[in-house]
Amino acid sequence: MDGIILVNKPKGYTSHDLVQKVRGILKIQKIGHTGTLDPMAEGLMMLTIGKATKILPYISIHDKKYHAELTLGIKTDTLDAEGTVLEEREVPAYSDQQISEVLNSFRGTYLQLPPMYSAKKINGKKLYELARKNVEIEREPVEVTIHDIQMESHEGSRITFDVACSSGTYIRSLCADIAERLGTIGIMSALKRTAIDKYSLVQSYSIEQIEKGEFELIDTYDVLYHYPYVEVTDITDVMNGKPISIDTDYSFVFITHEGKVIASYERYHDDVFICKRGLW
């Protein structure tokens, strides 16, 4: 069993919990995922099964879409509803227009500070491991891109919005940044991932469906559609990891055989390409 499965992660599960659950159901050890979701979050996760785990480096940077809820007037150490409350304020009355203008101001690329409570590693240490020891270290802001952001609703201190963004964007940080531009404080109080690249939450399967065997795997060929493919008839050298000659303008390609992705190759010099990773 090799391929990619789209799973609707329920609230309360860590990303690790979900992987372990699917491992137990499918009786397969080699399962990975393309990006974590916090336990309080729900929605789409893309799991790689079997040999498909080898393509993780090539699909972990996909753009994503979320439906988020921001609650103003409160600040926590984790920037979300599960953290310890650090501060509370009265929330000014904002018009829908004011909120929309602030949301729109985030379109494009901006520098975002990764939250301490995150899986991001600095000097080999996961930030949340340090945060749990009450250790806060200096982090460098990271460029993230907000492709689209739209307010869905606004009632009192609660704002719901949809956002399409680059991989590596922390929606908790985005919520805090939105609140700051509004002149107040705020936390992410709910989150649902609705899409990863071209794949939507409506295409995903629940844990119950997977337990019943009511699911289909996506082929690696479909998931890697962003990249150029080169079909090879004789794959002897490819299977042995040897350099091969390819007539192409691309500097990086996936080698396919009979419609199956079997390796990634990178230009070494002229038309000579060397194997970066075997995917068979």
**Residues noted as catalytic:** 38
Tokens representing residue 32 in the block: 């990975």
> Mind spelling out the 3-state secondary structure of the chain?
CCEEEEEEECCCCCHHHHHHHHHHHHCCCCEEECCCCCCCCEEEEEEEEHHHHHHHHHHCCCCEEEEEEEEECEEECCCECCCCEEEECCCCCCCHHHHHHHHHCCCEEEEECCCCCCCCEECCEEHHHHHCCCCCCCCCCEEEEEEEEEEEEEECCEEEEEEEECCCCCHHHHHHHHHHHCCCCEEEEEEEEEEECCEEHHHCECHHHHHCCCCCCECHHHHCCCCCEEECCCCHHHHCCCCEECCCCCCEEEEEECCEEEEEEEEEECCEEEEEEECC
Task: Tell me the Ramachandran region of residue 17: left when phi exceeds 0, alpha when psi lies from -120 to 50, beta otherwise.
Answer: alpha
Interacting residues of 19 by C-beta distance below 8 A, sequence separation 6+: 31, 32, 33, 47
